[in-house]
Amino acid sequence: MNKKIIFGLLASAALTLSCAQQTKTNGPVYLDNNAPIEERVEDALSRMTVEEKVAMTHAQSKFSSPGVPRLGIPEVWCTDGPHGIRPEVMWDEWEQAAWTNDSSTAFPALTCLAATWNEEMSLLYGQSIGEEARYRNKNILLGPGVNIYRTPYNGRNFEYMGEDPYLSGKMVVPYIKGVQQNAVAVCVKHYALNNNEVNRHTTNVHIDDRTLYEIYLPAFKAAVQEGQAWSIMGSYNLYKGQWNCHNQYMLNDILKGEWGFDGVVVSDWGGVHDTDQSVYNGLDLEYGSWTNGLTMGRSNAYASYFLADAYLEGIKSGKYGTKELDDKCRRILRLIFRTTMSANRPYGRFTCPEHYAAARKIGAEGIVLLKNDGVLPIDVKKVKKVLVVGENAVKMMTVGGGSSSLKVQHEISPLDGLKARLNGIAEVVYERGYVGDASGEYNGVTTGQDLSESRSAAKLIADAVAAAKTADYVIFVGGLNKSAHQDCEDSDRFSYGLPYNQDAVIEALAEANKNLVVVNISGNAVAMPWVDKVPAIVQDWYLGSEAGNSLADVLVGDVNPSGKLPFTFPVAYEDGPLKTVEQYPGVDQGRTGGVEAYDVPIFEMTYSEGVFVGYRWYDTKNIKPLFAFGHGLSYTTFEFGEAKVSKASMTQDGEVTVTVDVKNTGKVAGAEVVQLYIADHEASVERPTKELKGFSKVYLEPGQAAQVSFTIKKDALSFFDAQKHEWVAEKGKFSALVGSASDKILASVDFELK
Ligand code: BGC
């Protein structure tokens, strides 16, 4: 080593030493931005009194909880989630605070994000919504949601990412990374088994371990281990007789034990029922317990929370130790040092052109072309008159649906989007067709729209049919609408069919005009008894601020559709796996809440269909769906070559690579989602016919080809062995099935696991 280097090293060591000394003499470690987070956590914790610690573990208002004012440690502020930043509410009311600067950007619903099958879209989504949360000074975003789509009746499916654990797991990770780049924590919800809204506070789920680990946990696990989520929300329901906000098995054993989660377990709002269980069973931060009526005679109703006075008194009397309290506070402090007290905290931005562009892009990429007999795209060179029919073409969809409801700066309706795009090209006229829900209010946010209508149902149809006769294209925009029982929190749907007489309107329009396009806006599958009479069907979603622009982009072909269904559309609800009331909506077997504080009837729900959820059910039982999982058409065509495997066999710790060539054989550029499913030829347990284990979205110019490859390792071949409590891949033959939908396998190749 030459002298210069030695001198340099000594000098830099001296500098480091003096910086460290300086930090020490200048102030406490927890305030030192450059100190490792764990040192800051320990230092802060060592300075806190037991009262300050207990205060930190429960809310002080609807959406905030205390920091440590004496030490300059800031409060925690949460916001819904997951599609945009919720407007401000009163301190302890759900009603509006009536701010005039909190109208946000609404991004597409998570069903749409999942339908892009594009991880880049998920990152863009996370970055954008994270910037909005940061700008609004929130450090926990209540989302994303990854509960698996078990039934098309679930009112909250639109907030989740579909029926497949692999797809949800892949799509949730970039969202988390994007949000957390902004020094805003995600709060992944609702952990776990909250797969319906009916009786959501009082459903006790019975499920075997294999199903739990294979279907309902993987997306949460990916969020925690790959996404490194900084917080997670316990769900309202029970599992093994304990509420999930304080559940030994879910929180201590699996989440914190098996997965090593180091973040904060936040309760769902009002999901906490017991102090003992909250102390011991993994809850860290209590929110939303009902304070109504508790204010009488108390200066602070939040002192009545399960983790408030009762906890402090319990510690003082020796009933509880402080080990659990310190663990809760460590986690909350860690979150604060990762967010508000992080040295790398950006500033965020709000309702900016970039966010609207992101919303529009994600929206257009998630739209799924279900059927097209050559009607779409609208031919802008020939079209003279377009008739738009349906309430959903004009109704604001960002208001409603429950806690994800927003107050937006703007929302482009489908009608406005089409009018803007066809301005100067064609006349765009509108007919109502049917009346759905003309009201538009959620927690005091009103749409301000007047959707009142005096015509009878018959007259509405007659007027639409008359107009349809002179139009070049008829675009019917209907579906569900986020009002109670139509894709809405706290209520499930009552039936699988479209509401408000829409089927009759569609049938009448199909007779009146052969160029009919049905656009279904929903977060759930719906029945389509008219499917054979309608030449083009588009699955639209709740697309947020830019809804109409995204839809117009696809309908005229500015964007070539490339979305794929993240869940199956069965022909009829009865085709699905839920056959008994024990499976859904559960039965009251006479037991009550199990903890003193909450003596209510509990509904026992048994997931006896096991792992046979979604396409795993339809495939295995040979039931042809209306539209399959992974289905979605394009304005171009793609050809798949032969599937090739790198080796004929692999070992338990080895891998094989499957490759396939894909070519755009049509006339316009477009994207195809190449999907890899694995089929196990023989197993000691009953396995689904095939399971998604890889996907890749490729953009191709006309005539262009690309090679897509997938690396297959043991995890893609495994099932969860409940007895051994581990993932097991059994020796034998497997098929790699490659296709453009779960029902369109275009290439396959076999290999063996030795
Ligand atoms: C919902 C959560 C939401 C919370 C706060 C609850 O009712 O289940 O998803 O984040 O309220 O609004």
Centre of ligand 1 from the C-alpha of residue 520, in Å: 26
The beta-strand segments (E) located in 381-460 are 385-389, 427-431, 441-442, 445-446
268 Cβ below 6 A of ligand 1: yes
d(CA 748, CA 191): 36
Residue 594 near residue 201, CB atoms below 8 Å: no
- For the segment 634-643, the average pLDDT, to the nearest whole number, is 98
Pairing of strands 705-712, 719-721: unpaired
User: Scanning the structure block, which residue is given the tokens 């805003």?
Assistant: 184
Residue 68 near residue 76, CB atoms below 8 Å: no
269 Cβ below 6 A of ligand 1: yes
One-letter amino acid identity for 250? Answer: M
User: Scanning the structure block, which residue is given the tokens 């696990």?
Assistant: 221
Helices (H) and strands (E) in the chain, counts: 17, 30
Which structure tokens are listed for 695? 């996907």
Which structure tokens are listed for 564? 């794929």
Q: Is the pLDDT of residue 73 over 80?
A: yes
d(CA 79, CA 694): 33
> Per the omega criterion (within 30 degrees of 0), is the bond before 144 cis?
yes
Give Dmax (Cα) for the chain: 95
Q: Whose CA is nearest to atom 3 of ligand 1?
A: 403
- For the segment 456-471, the average pLDDT, to the nearest whole number, is 98
Which structure tokens are listed for 728? 């097991």
pLDDT band at 92 (very low <50, low <70, confident <90, very high): confident
142 Cβ below 6 A of ligand 1: yes
Residue 417 near residue 551, CB atoms below 8 Å: yes
Least-confidence region, from 87-96, 188-197, 660-669:
87-96
Q: Cβ neighbours of residue 323 under 8 Å, at least 6 residues apart?
A: none
Q: Is the pLDDT of residue 427 over 90?
A: yes
403 Cβ below 6 A of ligand 1: yes
Centre of ligand 1 from the C-alpha of residue 403, in Å: 6
User: Scanning the structure block, which residue is given the tokens 């508790």?
Assistant: 294
Centre of ligand 1 from the C-alpha of residue 429, in Å: 39
Q: What would the DSSP string read from start to end of 560-606?
A: ------SS-B-SSGGGSS--STTTTT-EEEEEE-SSTT---EEEEEE
Q: Cβ neighbours of residue 346 under 8 Å, at least 6 residues apart?
A: 131, 134, 181, 182, 183
Phi/psi class of residue 482: alpha, beta or left (left: φ > 0; alpha: ψ in -120 to 50)?
left
Which structure tokens are listed for 413? 């309706």
Q: What is the pLDDT of residue 318?
A: 98
Q: Which of 79, 187, 268 to mutate to test the pocket of ligand 1 (most atoms within 8 A of CB)?
A: 268
Q: Whose CA is nearest to atom 2 of ligand 1?
A: 268
In the chain, the percentage of residues whose pLDDT exceeds 70 is: 95
d(CA 236, CA 155): 15
Centre of ligand 1 from the C-alpha of residue 713, in Å: 38
81 Cβ below 6 A of ligand 1: yes
d(CA 569, CA 150): 12
- Partners of residue 78 on adjacent β-strands: 140
Q: Is the pLDDT of residue 511 over 80?
A: yes
- For the segment 24-32, the average pLDDT, to the nearest whole number, is 83
Residue 86 CA: which ligand 1 atom is closest? 12
Selecting among 32, 102, 268, 416, the annotated active-site residue is: 268
Residue 236 CA: which ligand 1 atom is closest? 8
Q: Which of 94, 141, 489 to mutate to test the pocket of ligand 1 (most atoms within 8 A of CB)?
A: 489
Q: What is the pLDDT of residue 20?
A: 40
Centre of ligand 1 from the C-alpha of residue 450, in Å: 29
In the chain, the percentage of residues whose pLDDT exceeds 90 is: 92
Q: Whose CA is nearest to atom 12 of ligand 1?
A: 403
Residue 403 CA: which ligand 1 atom is closest? 12
pLDDT in tens, 562-598: 999 999 999 999 999 999 999 999 999 887 765 545 6
Q: What is the pLDDT of residue 594?
A: 58
Within 10 Å of residue 372's Cβ, how many Cβ atoms? Answer: 17
Q: What is the pLDDT of residue 176?
A: 99
| 268 counts as catalytic | yes
Residue 4 DSSP SS3 = helix
d(CA 278, CA 243): 10
195 Cβ below 6 A of ligand 1: no
- For the segment 526-542, the average pLDDT, to the nearest whole number, is 98
> Per the omega criterion (within 30 degrees of 0), is the bond before 377 cis?
yes
- For the segment 82-93, the average pLDDT, to the nearest whole number, is 94
Residue 191 near residue 255, CB atoms below 8 Å: yes
Centre of ligand 1 from the C-alpha of residue 292, in Å: 17
Edge-to-edge strand order for the sheet containing 649-650?
A: 649-650, 744-753, 732-741, 670-680, 691-700
Which structure tokens are listed for 44? 């802060």
89 Cβ below 6 A of ligand 1: no
Q: What would the DSSP string read from start to end of 600-611?
A: -EEEEEE-TTTT
Burial category of 448 from C-beta neighbours within 10 Å (exposed 0-12, middle 13-18, buried 19 and up): exposed
DSSP conformation class of 73: B
Q: Is the pLDDT of residue 471 over 50?
A: yes
Q: Cβ neighbours of residue 364 under 8 Å, at least 6 residues apart?
A: 550, 551, 553, 554, 559
80 Cβ below 6 A of ligand 1: yes
Centre of ligand 1 from the C-alpha of residue 112, in Å: 20
693 Cβ below 6 A of ligand 1: no
Residue 375 near residue 544, CB atoms below 8 Å: no
Q: Which of 85, 142, 158, 189 to mutate to test the pocket of ligand 1 (most atoms within 8 A of CB)?
A: 142
Which structure tokens are listed for 22? 């300086």
Q: Is the pLDDT of residue 258 over 50?
A: yes
Q: What is the pLDDT of residue 592?
A: 72
Q: Is the pLDDT of residue 25 over 80?
A: no
Which structure tokens are listed for 550? 């995204």
Residue 330 near residue 594, CB atoms below 8 Å: no
Centre of ligand 1 from the C-alpha of residue 480, in Å: 21
Edge-to-edge strand order for the sheet containing 242-243?
A: 242-243, 238-239, 203-206, 601-606, 587-592
pLDDT band at 9 (very low <50, low <70, confident <90, very high): very low
Q: What is the pLDDT of residue 438?
A: 93
Centre of ligand 1 from the C-alpha of residue 303, in Å: 21
Residue 85 near residue 445, CB atoms below 8 Å: no
Q: Whose CA is nearest to atom 11 of ligand 1?
A: 269
Containing H/E element for 140? strand 140-142
Report helix angle 165-180 to 119-135, nearest 10. 40
One-letter amino acid identity for 48? Answer: M
Q: What is the pLDDT of residue 595?
A: 56
59 Cβ below 6 A of ligand 1: no
Residue 190 CA: which ligand 1 atom is closest? 9
pLDDT band at 297 (very low <50, low <70, confident <90, very high): low
pLDDT band at 10 (very low <50, low <70, confident <90, very high): very low
Q: What is the pLDDT of residue 290?
A: 75
- 304 phi, psi to nearest 5 deg: -85, 0
Q: Which of 157, 231, 403, 445 to mutate to test the pocket of ligand 1 (most atoms within 8 A of CB)?
A: 403
**For residue 554, what are the CA distances in angstroms to 4, 502, 562?**
65, 23, 10
Least-confidence region, from 157-166, 388-397, 437-446, 635-644:
437-446
Least-confidence region, from 282-291, 316-325, 356-365:
282-291
Residue 303 near residue 45, CB atoms below 8 Å: no
- For the segment 229-236, the average pLDDT, to the nearest whole number, is 98
User: Scanning the structure block, which residue is given the tokens 């029970």?
Assistant: 238
pLDDT band at 600 (very low <50, low <70, confident <90, very high): confident
- For the segment 615-635, the average pLDDT, to the nearest whole number, is 98
Scanning 181-234, the segments in alpha helix (DSSP H) are: 209-211, 218-225
Q: Is the pLDDT of residue 404 over 60?
A: yes
Q: What is the mean pLDDT of the chain?
A: 94
DSSP conformation class of 352: -
Q: Cβ neighbours of residue 537 under 8 Å, at least 6 residues apart?
A: 369, 370, 371, 372, 517, 518, 520, 528, 531
189 Cβ below 6 A of ligand 1: yes
Q: Whose CA is nearest to atom 5 of ligand 1?
A: 269
- For the segment 646-674, the average pLDDT, to the nearest whole number, is 98
Centre of ligand 1 from the C-alpha of residue 82, in Å: 10
Q: Is the pLDDT of residue 24 over 70?
A: no
Residue 108 DSSP SS3 = coil
Residue 640 DSSP SS3 = strand
103 Cβ below 6 A of ligand 1: no
Centre of ligand 1 from the C-alpha of residue 62, in Å: 11
The beta-strand segments (E) located in 620-728 are 638-640, 644-645, 649-650, 656-664, 670-680, 691-700, 705-712, 719-721, 726-728
Q: Whose CA is nearest to atom 4 of ligand 1?
A: 269
- For the segment 723-729, the average pLDDT, to the nearest whole number, is 98
Put simply, whether the predicted model's pTM sits higher than 0.85 gets the answer: yes
Residue 285 near residue 60, CB atoms below 8 Å: no
Within 10 Å of residue 266's Cβ, how many Cβ atoms? Answer: 31
- For the segment 44-64, the average pLDDT, to the nearest whole number, is 97
Half-sphere exposure of 176 (CA within 13 A, CB side): 27
Q: What is the pLDDT of residue 201?
A: 93
Q: What is the pLDDT of residue 601?
A: 87
